[in-house]
Amino acid sequence: MTEEDKKELAEAENSETDEDIIEDNFGIEPEILKNLPPEARKVIQIGMSSHRFGPMQNPLTQKLTSQHIDKILEISEKDDERAFKDAGESRKYTLIYIILFSALFIFLTVFLVGSDVELYKEIVKLFAIFLGGLGSGFGIKGYMDRNK
């Protein structure tokens, strides 16, 4: 509790009695407090009188200026721009990978079908297994990300 809060509390106690504060703000009749033991009564009175002033504010909110808010907005805007550029780069690399795998598949199809069909079947089978594993890995990753 700061010195200012203590001063306000002391002024409030001088201007009104604890019973008035409790009755005005909380609707509790003072007779109920009279039936309580003295220690419990004091704790309740102090607690209720401190609620009268509201919760303590974060001291940083008083020091926050419009320049700080502008800086926060600039940083947020730069972060959004970086995320957008990152998504674009990711799409480019995905396209490059698809083109490379397609070129490899076409190359194998053109040169191996004419010379060795059995080897081509094995390569296509391994390629299908690889794509299945890759797809299931992305599926599992997506499922795990959704559950977080």
How many domains would you assign to the chain? 2
Cα 86 from Cα 78, distance rounded (Å): 12
Highest mean pLDDT range out of 1-10, 50-59, 70-79?
70-79
> 82: pLDDT confidence band, cut at 50, 70 and 90?
very high
Same domain for 48 and 64, yes or no, is no
Tokens encoding 93 = 């690399």
CA–CA separation, 116 vs 32, rounded Å?
98
**Containing structural domain, residue 42:** 3-56
Does 68 lie in the same domain as 50? no
pTM: 0.44
Residues 30 and 41 sit within 8 Å (Cβ to Cβ): no
70 and 125 share one domain: yes
Q: 136 and 64, same structural domain?
A: yes
Mean pLDDT of the 39-62 span: 70
The 10s digit of each residue's pLDDT in 113-128 is 888 888 888 888 988 8
Residue 80 and residue 49 share a domain: no
Q: What is the largest CA-CA distance in the chain?
A: 104
For residue 8, pLDDT beyond 80: no
* The token pair that represents 137 in the structure block: 């890995």
